[in-house]
Amino acid sequence: MNKIPFTIKFPQTKYTRDEVYNFWNTTKETQVEGSFKDENQKERYVKFLDDFQNKKIKPTTKIDQDIFWLFMDDIENRASIDYVEGHYDVEDEPEIVNGGKYFYKKGQELRKVWKKFSIQ
């Protein structure tokens, strides 16, 4: 399986910790069918999220291509909900909007890495 170097720095703000925990929790509770290729992929994604939360994922860490995609997709989806689509008002909920903006930026960085290193 192709591995992609994570390459970016991703400091863990409170928003990041909370949202990645939500990714982890949702993934643990999600049925494989319709969401993952198989149980192995789900388990590998949970392990990646564990490693991310425990600050074991560094720019030099190589990630399985499919797991990189799942993480990038989750980041972009959260950015879309919290920032791009305008569901929240920055004056009322600045942490959410600013966190979504931060994920939007990180999603763009991850997308560049994906385009450079992924094998289609």
Report which DSSP code applies to 32: S
The band of 1, judged by pLDDT with boundaries at 50, 70 and 90, is confident
Say how far apart CA 90 and CA 24 lie, in whole Å.
Answer: 26
> pLDDT digit string (tens) for 13-66?
999 999 999 999 999 999 999 899 999 999 999 999 999 999 999 999 999 999
Domain borders along the chain are 3-117
The band of 100, judged by pLDDT with boundaries at 50, 70 and 90, is very high
> pLDDT digit string (tens) for 69-89?
999 999 999 999 999 999 999
What count of residues does the chain have? Answer: 120
- What pLDDT is attached to residue 52? 97
- Whole-prediction pTM value? 0.94
Q: How far is CA 13 from CA 64, 85, 116, 118, in A?
A: 25, 22, 27, 28
What is the dihedral angle through the alpha carbons of 62, 64, 65, 70, rounded to the nearest 10 degrees? -110
